[in-house]
Amino acid sequence: MDEIKPPQRVASLASQLVDSLRSLIESGEWPVGTRIPPEQVLVEQLGVGRSTLREALGALSHLGLLEARVGDGTYVRASSELQSVMVRRASASRRDEVLELRAVLEQYASGIAALRRSEDDVRQLRELSDFMAKVSTPEDMAALAGADGTFHRTVVQASRNSLLIEVYDYLGTALASALGGLPWSDTAAAEHAELHGRLVDAIEARDEDGARRVAATIVGLTRNHAVEPGHDAEHEHGVEPEHGAEHASRKTKGQ
Amino acid sequence: MDEIKPPQRVASLASQLVDSLRSLIESGEWPVGTRIPPEQVLVEQLGVGRSTLREALGALSHLGLLEARVGDGTYVRASSELQSVMVRRASASRRDEVLELRAVLEQYASGIAALRRSEDDVRQLRELSDFMAKVSTPEDMAALAGADGTFHRTVVQASRNSLLIEVYDYLGTALASALGGLPWSDTAAAEHAELHGRLVDAIEARDEDGARRVAATIVGLTRNHAVEPGHDAEHEHGVEPEHGAEHASRKTKGQ
DNA sequence: GATAGCCGAATGTCAGACATTTGGAGGCTG
DNA sequence: CAGCCTCCAAATGTCTGACATTCGGCTATC
């Protein structure tokens, strides 16, 4: 009995590989945008056959964590597997369902945020709110939409619940590809800005119920904008995060 | 120019396979528990190499839709890819975060349910509520826990938002494997039952705000039970749904 | 009739080969 | 010298064949 191997053949090699690679990605060792070593290198580093490795890489690709390009290499595309799945699921849902779920999360997160917010949160929200109140020219509408998105994400983040934050973000991603920038009338924009100010007030005052109520009002207003009929049915569900951006130099082999 | 193939080599064969197989599963053509045809058969049916097919099968396995067993076959394990990913993500989160998110969904679903509930919903809820009010002997605690779970799922389902329902269910699945059956004191059980009755009342009366508030109270009560310190950190994240159950007879080849 | 052993079948893994695509290096031309 | 073109190495995509491992059922034996 020199060597007794049998003990651990619990999980398939490919499964173990998937877990290993996934933890490499989720831990940030392979940041998004990284070009991972070519299959040949990984095969000899990990000591597995190419088929096995490819099965693992394929799984991660279909999970949305990796993206392989023929003739180029394989890149890290996202750090969370929940994202791609959630986006795909949300894209397959009726838009009002997605909006409703997101609204639910946002309202409640606003309430919690009022309880857990830091001084820093309040400062950021106040800045964004003030900014949105100032802009009114049509050409700033794009900036306003961006600020609005940041505002709501900041509110949700102040809830300090990472799982809630993540789900909220993914729903937002799924929606963004669907509705994009909507036009705002002047009166609506003014009301919108005023409500945001009140939301910040409530959060600053640690008024859970008030924050939730204001958030509900904002959500209702937003929904009225979004339900405008038109491009209802499908939209490409690829979302396509940044990827043309930071590609590690191709010839960087050793690291 | 006899044959022009180039037109669609847009996506890799394996990717197309994943989509095909996934739709077979999600459409219900291959119900959960089905033993899918062996690789060899699929290879010749689909006209692809075994490596390619295996890459697709591996991806679906790691997505949690399939489960392969050496020497036996490959079985459909779940019909939604969101489930496994969500369960895994939730299991990696702090329990209080999961509870909180689930509580959020439940509270708002209760409010929405009050608006959208059918007569049938009310009837079912009333039955469950009455049942829970009756049982008090310790040996019925298991049945009570089951009825409680069914009650809450029914409430959420009355919201008629499939995405919300799905996410709620998965969070519940993730939690169930973690906390299992908790003991209830008599007074707590009585309060619990009384609250459920009031929730049904509010839903029947289409009282959105009241339903949400009662649900919030129930959630708070439940949370007090769940936050008892102890087994906090990790718990196996496998969840393991039914699988020993309905296996199609092995020799059933044609269908 | 019960049990132990055999055998076929199915998945798991590896190796090799070729196809296809890409990006860049190098040479050619103006 | 600048710009374009060609060619090539590299990387992923696919297929085939082989062997290992494990499981379920069948059969033969006691």
Best interface-test mutation with A: which of B13, B55, B63, B112 has the largest number of A CBs within 10 A?
B55
Give the pairing of strands A73-76 and A66-69: antiparallel
Q: Which nucleotide is closest to the Cα of A70 by its C1'? A: D12
Contact status, residue B60 vs residue B79, Cβ threshold 8 Å: no
Nearest to A100 among B51, B85, B161 (CB): B161
- How close does chain A come to B131, measured CA to CA in Å? 30
Check whether residue B99 and residue B220 sit in a common domain. Answer: yes
Task: Decide if A218 touches B, using CB distance below 8 A.
Answer: no
Check whether residue B204 and residue B105 sit in a common domain. Answer: yes
Confidence of residue A229 (pLDDT cuts 50, 70, 90): very low
Interface of A with B in 64-83 (CB under 8 A): 80-82
- The answer to whether position A54 is within a domain reads yes
Q: Quick one: pLDDT at residue A140? A: 63
Cβ of residue A6 lies below 7 Å from strand D: yes
Q: What is the pLDDT of residues B20-53, one digit of tens each?
A: 999 999 888 999 999 999 999 999 999 999 999 9
Rounded distance in angstroms from the CA atom of residue B75 to the C1' atom of nucleotide D26: 24
In A, minimum Cα distance to B105 occurs at A104
pTM of the predicted model as reported, rounded to 2 decimal places: 0.76
CA angle B72, B76, B82 (to 5 degrees): 140
Q: What is the pLDDT of residues A172-191, one digit of tens each?
A: 887 776 555 555 566 767 78
Check whether residue A189 and residue A140 sit in a common domain. Answer: yes
Rounded distance in angstroms from the CA atom of residue A178 to the C1' atom of nucleotide D7: 44
Cβ of residue A54 lies below 7 Å from strand D: yes
Q: Of A36, A8, A32, which Cα lies nearest the Cα of A241? A: A32
Range name among A49-53, A196-200, B246-250 with the lowest pLDDT average: B246-250
Q: Quick one: pLDDT at residue A68? A: 92
Check whether residue A55 and residue A107 sit in a common domain. Answer: no
- The answer to whether position A4 is within a domain reads no
| Residue B41 lies in domain | 13-78
Confidence of residue B239 (pLDDT cuts 50, 70, 90): very low
Check whether residue B104 and residue B229 sit in a common domain. Answer: yes
Q: Quick one: pLDDT at residue A244? A: 36
Check whether residue B71 and residue B91 sit in a common domain. Answer: no
Q: Indicate yes or no: CB of A89 within 8 angstroms of CB of B107.
A: no
Between the alpha carbon of residue A122 and those of residues A117, A193, A201, the distances in Å are 7, 16, 9
Q: What is the CATH number of the domain that holds B160?
A: 1.20.120.530
Task: Decide if B208 touches A, using CB distance below 8 A.
Answer: no
Check whether residue B62 and residue B173 sit in a common domain. Answer: no
Rounded distance in angstroms from the CA atom of residue A72 to the C1' atom of nucleotide C27: 24
Q: What number is the average pLDDT over the span B158-168?
A: 92
Residue nearest to nucleotide C14 (CA to C1'): A49
Find chain A residues with C-beta within 8 A of B80's C-beta. Answer: 89
Check whether residue A149 and residue A199 sit in a common domain. Answer: yes
Check whether residue B232 and residue B149 sit in a common domain. Answer: yes
Confidence of residue B237 (pLDDT cuts 50, 70, 90): very low
Q: What is the CATH number of the domain that holds B73?
A: 1.10.10.10
Q: Indicate yes or no: CB of B97 within 8 angstroms of CB of A163.
A: yes
- The answer to whether position A172 is within a domain reads yes
Q: DSSP readout, chain A? A: -----TT---S-HHHHHHHHHHHHHHTTSS-TTPEEPPHHHHHHHHT--HHHHHHHHHHHHHHTSEEEETTTEEEE--S-HHHHHHHHHHHTS-HHHHHHHHHHHHHHHHHHHHHH--HHHHHHHHHHHHHHHH--SGGGHHHHHHHHHHHHHHHHHTT--HHHHHHHHHHHHHHHHHH-PPP--HHHHHHHHHHHHHHHHHHHTT-HHHHHHHHHHHHHHHHHHHT-SSS-S---S----S-SS-PPPTT----
Domain boundary pick from A38, A61, A78: A78
Nearest to A162 among B81, B82, B97 (CB): B97
Find chain A residues with C-beta within 8 A of B98's C-beta. Answer: 163
Q: How many domains does chain A have?
A: 2
Q: What number is the average pLDDT over the span B161-190?
A: 75
Check whether residue A69 and residue A183 sit in a common domain. Answer: no
Q: What is the mean pLDDT of chain A?
A: 79
Check whether residue A101 and residue A194 sit in a common domain. Answer: yes
